[in-house]
Chain A
Amino acid sequence: MVVIAIIGILIALLLPAVQAAREAARRMTCSNNLRQYGIAAHTHHDAYQKLPTLEEKMGNDSIGYTSVGWIMSLLPFMEQQGITAMIESGGTAASMNGTTNYTPKRPADTWVNNYRPWRMNFAIRHCPSEINSNQPVLDFFPGTSNYVGNIGDCSSNWATMNTNRLRGIFMRGNNRTFETIGDGTSNTALFSERAVAIPVTGEQTRNAKYALAYCSTTGNGSPDWIMSAIDPANRNQIKSTGGWNGWAWNGRRWCCYQLCYSSFHTVMSPNTVSAILWGSSISNSPVLTVSSYHSGGVNLALADGSVRFINNSINTGTTSVSAWHTADPARGVYGASPYGVWGAIGTIDSGEPKGLD
């Protein structure tokens, strides 16, 4: 009897260790995925002498262009030429219903569910720890993905994506090259991960890990303000007072260039919350935060292609300074980041060759 009890206790002690080992394996797979993205970016740089932009254009002058995300330019470099080929040939074969005739070479808008290339799935788009990767397709959200590109420590307007204040790797309209990364490729973030959002009603959710919190009163765009969206009574949730609510958009449109689908800021520490003051054009600037289901942090690929684990407790510097591009003009394009080590690895050339160690 005693022996059975002891064995029982020993197994109880061992079980969490087994779970931890399983999660460690998933984290390593995720880290390998990010390495694939890093290698694809380097191969793209070898082929074209530049990195992709935040908003890539597919098409040509006679048929026009469709804006797509950086990931579409990396597909040929990560064994996904099939999707690119389907866009090239177009026609009814590129539709889900078999009848819509799509223009060859120019893809449909990124929110069109009937466009077959947007419905294609491939393994390295998802972190194996992600619990929401196999969700039904919703209107305007053809497919999910976990991996996002670094746009620095300064938040820009949602729609116009004001280019001169994107201080990270990805810009709109201009391609970065490795030469422009003055702080060093081993000190600058390239890709990281964010949990996929699941709506509860309509397009809303209050889950802090993946919601884009929005405030219907007002705020100053500082990390302190964004942090105040979290409910102290349940830190996994956005609070229901103070005019706060949350959108379930993050990670739901893998092919899209718009900020909440394609990119992240090094402003808030990992696994806190993303936020926007929706409505007025100038403050219509999301701060997008990395998140994952790994224990205590997220994986991040640096521009040199190496992958590191970022702890939730990473130093985030002065949290009372606004991240909106209008609020802190002194930061400019090359000013130092106020957000500590985390902000420094997000900016490409701010005289901060600060590494993660």
Chain B
Amino acid sequence: MKKVLYIIIVLFAIFAVSCNSNQVPVSPVSGEVIYNGKPVENALISFVPQSSNGRGASAQTESNGSFVILTQGATKNGAMTGKYKVLVSKLVEIDGNGNEVKRKFIEKIDHANPNSQQEQMYPQKNLLPEKYAKEETTELIVNVEKKNNHFKLELKD
């Protein structure tokens, strides 16, 4: 009887191993963005890999400045291990008076005349220091390790 049980256990082990497919290995990465002591909402965070086999990862911050990083092609949240430069920006559109343009929620569009739905074009403006938006100038460098990573990104003027 025991023999049968062993065979079943071995079969199950083979089955479990064979389920492992082609995936991007990631470690969990979370954190928050602070600018001049205040949390930043709706900022875009890009993790730019510094090794050739790395993969870019990204997130958008919540109202309390927190974020959870995602990588394309991975089946779990997180980023691959390795060194990254971190880009942080918060783009808004600015009208002629320098006010932020808020787009309205669009319930339904006029399908017969899609061109009529286009709104005016406004220039974009980054509300965070520009140095954090470029790989060459950002001072934010993180190292993602094989554990639960948490990064507090503090931006200064």
Residues on A facing B (Cβ under 8 Å): 2, 6, 9-10, 13, 109, 111, 140, 158-159, 202-204, 214, 216-220, 222-225, 227-230, 232, 235, 239, 241-243, 245, 258, 268-269, 272, 278-284, 295-296, 311-316, 318-320
- Is the Cβ of B44 less than 8 Å from the Cβ of A219? yes
Contact residues in A for B77 (Cβ distance below 8 Å) = 232, 235
Q: On chain B, which size bracket covers the interface? A: 35 or more
- Is the Cβ of A222 less than 8 Å from the Cβ of B1? no
Instruction: Say yes or no: A228-B70 contact (C-beta < 8 A), given A218-B124, A318-B56.
Output: yes
Residues on B facing A (Cβ under 8 Å): 1, 4, 8, 11-12, 15, 21-24, 42, 44-46, 48, 55-60, 62-63, 68, 70-75, 77, 87, 89, 91-93, 102-109, 111-112, 114-115, 117-122, 124, 135
- Is the Cβ of A269 less than 8 Å from the Cβ of B119? no
| Interface pairs (13), CB distance under 8 Å | A158-B114, A159-B114, A220-B124, A223-B56, A225-B44, A278-B106, A279-B119, A280-B118, A282-B121, A312-B75, A313-B24, A320-B46, A320-B135
| Residue from A109, A214, A318 in contact with B112 in the complex, judged by beta carbons closer than 8 Å | A109
**A204–B105 CA distance with the chains assembled, in angstroms:** 11
**A241–B43 CA distance with the chains assembled, in angstroms:** 12
Q: Nearest-CB distance from B125 to chain A (Å)? A: 9
**A311–B93 CA distance with the chains assembled, in angstroms:** 37
- Is the Cβ of B103 less than 8 Å from the Cβ of A278? yes
Closest to B113 in A: A159
- Is the Cβ of A227 less than 8 Å from the Cβ of B93? no
Q: Nearest-CB distance from B78 to chain A (Å)? A: 9
Contact residues in A for B57 (Cβ distance below 8 Å) = 224, 227, 319
Q: Nearest-CB distance from A195 to chain B (Å)? A: 17
* Further pairs besides A230-B70, A279-B118: 13, Cβ < 8 Å: A111-B112, A218-B93, A227-B71, A228-B44, A241-B62, A242-B42, A279-B103, A280-B93, A280-B122, A296-B21, A316-B55, A319-B46, A319-B55
| Residue from B4, B73, B93 in contact with A313 in the complex, judged by beta carbons closer than 8 Å | B73
Closest to A256 in B: B111
- Is the Cβ of B111 less than 8 Å from the Cβ of A224? no
- Chain A to chain B: the 4 pairs with minimum beta-carbon distance, closest first: A319-B56, A224-B58, A232-B68, A228-B60
Q: Nearest-CB distance from A49 to chain B (Å)? A: 32
Contact residues in A for B42 (Cβ distance below 8 Å) = 217, 242-243
Contact residues in B for A239 (Cβ distance below 8 Å) = 60
**A269–B75 CA distance with the chains assembled, in angstroms:** 12
Closest to B126 in A: A220
Contact residues in B for A312 (Cβ distance below 8 Å) = 73, 75
Contact residues in A for B91 (Cβ distance below 8 Å) = 218-220
Instruction: Say yes or no: A216-B118 contact (C-beta < 8 A), given A6-B8, A227-B70, A228-B44.
Output: no
Q: Nearest-CB distance from B66 to chain A (Å)? A: 10
- Is the Cβ of A228 less than 8 Å from the Cβ of B59? yes
Q: Nearest-CB distance from B128 to chain A (Å)? A: 13
Q: Nearest-CB distance from B67 to chain A (Å)? A: 8
